[in-house]
């Protein structure tokens, strides 16, 4: 009789340990992924979609923008320029994707910065699928009164 009780206790203890240990895997981490922060899905079925998602991932990364990462994104003649621009944008992270327009060979990312500024990133991909055109535009805020500034 005592032997059966100890087996049941051991089985119950094992089940409890397994249940508790699997709960840790179900919780979300403290930092959501870049895609989870965005309400807009970027289709990666085209080279320009892949590059648009890569730009967002790089901008929202905890790792600084560097030449190695930029070389996987931009055409050789654009590496220095794109790297400098992306490094400046990186300091304003995290960016939220407010919209994306994907066209033949080009994409426009509509971003909202951590402090609410809106920026558009226009990128063009060449035949080698690397970014060979990159331009950032800050969208001016709409200000009608002092209340808009204090908001």
CATH number where 100 lies: 3.10.450.280
Residue 146 lies in a domain: no
Q: pLDDT > 70: what percent of the chain?
A: 74
pLDDT, position 29: 42
pLDDT, position 11: 55
pTM of the model: 0.72
* Other C-beta atoms lying within 10 Å of the C-beta of residue 136: 15
**Helix intervals (H) in 27-145:** 34-37, 47-59, 67-71, 79-90
Q: Which residue has the higher pLDDT, 151 or 17?
A: 151
Residue 147 lies in a domain: no
36 pLDDT higher than 80: no
Whether the link from the prior residue into 94 is cis, omega within 30° of 0, is yes
Please report which confidence band the pLDDT of residue 78 belongs to, taking 50, 70 and 90 as the band edges.
Answer: very high
Residue 18 lies in a domain: no
Host domain of residue 45: 34-139
Instruction: Decide if 56 contacts 97 (C-beta within 8 A).
Output: yes
pLDDT, position 21: 43
Query: Average per-residue pLDDT in the chain?
Result: 82
Cα 46 to Cα 51: distance, rounded to the nearest angstrom: 9
Q: How many CA atoms lie within 13 A of 94 on its CB side?
A: 15
Residue 41 phi/psi, 5-degree rounding, is -85, 135
Residue 3 lies in a domain: no
pLDDT, position 28: 42
Residue 2 lies in a domain: no
Q: pLDDT > 90: what percent of the chain?
A: 59
Residue 4 lies in a domain: no
């Amino acid at each position: 009789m005592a032997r059966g009780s100890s087996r049941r206790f051991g089985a119950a203890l094992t089940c409890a340990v397994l249940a508790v240990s699997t709960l840790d895997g179900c919780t979300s981490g403290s930092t959501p992924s870049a895609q989870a922060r965005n309400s807009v899905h970027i289709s990666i079925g085209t080279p320009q979609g892949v590059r648009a998602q890569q730009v967002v991932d790089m901008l929202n990364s905890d790792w600084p923008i560097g030449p190695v990462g930029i070389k996987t994104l931009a055409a050789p003649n654009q590496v220095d320029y794109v790297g400098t621009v992306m490094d400046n944008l990186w300091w304003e992270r995290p960016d939220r994707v407010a919209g994306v327009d994907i066209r033949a060979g080009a994409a426009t990312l509509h971003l909202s910065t951590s402090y609410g500024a809106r920026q558009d990133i226009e990128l063009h991909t060449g035949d080698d699928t690397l970014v060979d055109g990159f331009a950032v535009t800050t969208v001016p805020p709409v200000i009608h009164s002092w209340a808009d500034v204090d908001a």
